[in-house]
Amino acid sequence: MVSDLSKKHFLTCEDWTKVELDTVFETSFKLKNQFLNEEPHLYLPHKTLFMIFFEQSTRTRNSMEAGMTQLGGHAHDLTADKMQLSHGESAKDTAIILSRMGHGIASRNCFYGIGNDYLNEMAKYSTRPVMSLQDDIYHPFQGLADLMTIFEHFDKNPKGLKVTISWAYADTHSKPLSVPQSQILLFPRYGIDVTVAHPKEFPLSKNIVDKAKLNAAAGGGSIKFTNNMDEAFEGANIVIPKNWGGFGAYSVPEYLDNETECKKEMKENLDKYKSWICDEHKIKLADKNVKLMHALPADRGHEVTDEILDNENISIVFDEAENRLHTAKAIMSLTM
């Protein structure tokens, strides 16, 4: 256990040691038990969290806001149109002011080439902990909830567990790289063997992949890549079918300078891979006791079929979603 994590920023799990993360998980399980037993746990009485959302949110917004209420504090739900951000106020000025008025700042900004820089700029000038609710590179709260769910359904020492993270077809919107990138960075630190499947047109960012390989070597896990979804599912204990955009194939300046052309090319590439879906055929390739995970919302009938997503013997997505609450409360209670 780490005794003091107060005022520590939470922008990526990469900035936290394994001992610090272990403290987070221990706290998460304690808070979950207290919640389920309806035991009050007012660890942040009268404290204020400012939440700044540049994008829509269900699990993240509600896990943070409900979590603050349950911890005895209050969360302000802010969007750019409610603030002077819409008139160009800088991340620096926003951070300085909000950190003088409350006890924590959390923000979701997934704009490519902008989001992570914005959060880091706030963290540089805030005197209170800044928490990433997702950006264009990382989604650390999702990574925590995912690993907590793995601990619950398998073992708190998951060394040797086979987890497949697979690109899957979706057409609702271009989903960020941040979820799979956080997973490949975090899981191997706990000895998990990760297989990533994706079409060649939809890679993850090279610098993240390189770091994930280093994490695997240090943590006793492994990471490998394939362009074949069936191959990736073979023998897997956990499968995570998740769409992500083709932004990893482009340098950010190129994407920003030629956004229309890049989107057109990504749409053409996307249409080639409608068969990349988690269905009964794919599940039968995996371990007989395989579990399905997904950060949600899932594109039903595209990323995964209803038959698999709603199968209570396979799908643990709602346990995963609930654990967003308990891990969020752990980070807030430890840092604020």
Residue-wise pLDDT tens digits, 4-55: 999 999 999 999 999 999 999 999 999 999 999 999 999 999 999 999 999 8
Q: Is residue 104 part of a domain?
A: yes
> Is 156 in the same domain as 285?
yes
Q: What is the pTM of this model?
A: 0.94
Distance, in Å, from the CA atom of 153 to the CA atom of 226, rounded to the nearest integer, reads 26
> Is 316 in the same domain as 328?
no
- Say if residues 176 and 244 touch (Cβ distance below 8 Å): yes
Number of independent structural domains in the chain: 2
- pLDDT category at 249 given cuts 50, 70, 90 is low
Q: What percent of the chain has pLDDT above 90? A: 82
By CB atoms closer than 10 A (0-12, 13-18, 19+), residue 319 is middle
- Dihedral (CA of 127, 59, 27, 75) sign: positive
> Is 178 in the same domain as 277?
yes
pLDDT mean across residues, the chain: 93
Among residues 318, 273, 257, 310, the alpha carbon closest in space to that of 112 is found at 257
Q: Is residue 274 part of a domain?
A: yes
**Average pLDDT for residues 307-330, to the nearest whole number?**
98
Among residues 144, 60, 64, the alpha carbon closest in space to that of 109 is found at 60
Distance, in Å, from the CA atom of 108 to the CA atom of 215, rounded to the nearest integer, reads 25
Its domain, for residue 249, covers 142-321
- Dihedral (CA of 237, 295, 317, 315) sign: negative
Q: Tell me the CATH number at 119.
A: 3.40.50.1370
Least confident of 25-34, 134-143, 166-175, 212-221: 166-175
pLDDT (0 to 100) of residue 210: 98
Residues in the chain: 336
pLDDT (0 to 100) of residue 149: 98
**Average pLDDT for residues 232-259, to the nearest whole number?**
77
> Is 147 in the same domain as 227?
yes
Q: Is residue 196 part of a domain?
A: yes
Distance, in Å, from the CA atom of 332 to the CA atom of 324, rounded to the nearest integer, reads 12
- pLDDT category at 87 given cuts 50, 70, 90 is low
